Amino acid sequence: SQELEQSPQSLIVQEGKNLTINCTSSKTLYGLYWYKQKYGEGLIFLMMLQKGGEEKSHEKITAKLDEKKQQSSLHITASQPSHAGIYLCGADMSNAGKSTFGDGTTLTVKP
């Protein structure tokens, strides 16, 4: 079974709309990372969350880690075509310095 579940698998939104992507685990997350990937390219680091209830923002992207540290949400406000890509969450599940990744959410923003 997948240790990190991302939902939805894909998302198509109209430019200007808000959207949320979720990343869920049955285990405690020692560090939760959000990355963005353009097809065929490397991953771009967006932000890292470590503490329960922590919330961080990067431009119009906000990510939050729940109090139990088992779920994170990524929220994009007023989406733009430049937000399109694959969003991946990664987490240190064992506090051993190795990350597990979700399958990614493909975001399409229609102009």
Total residues at interface with other proteins (CB under 8 A):
27
Restricting to residues 10-39, name those near other proteins by CB under 8 A. Answer: 30-31, 33, 35
18, 78 Cβ separation under 8 angstroms:
yes
d(CA 89, CA 79): 19
Q: What's the one-letter identity of residue 68?
A: K
**Does residue 85 bind other proteins (CB under 8 A)?**
no
Least distance to other proteins, CB of residue 73, Å: 18
Stretch that binds other proteins, among 54-62, 63-71, 76-84, 102-110 (CB under 8 A): 102-110
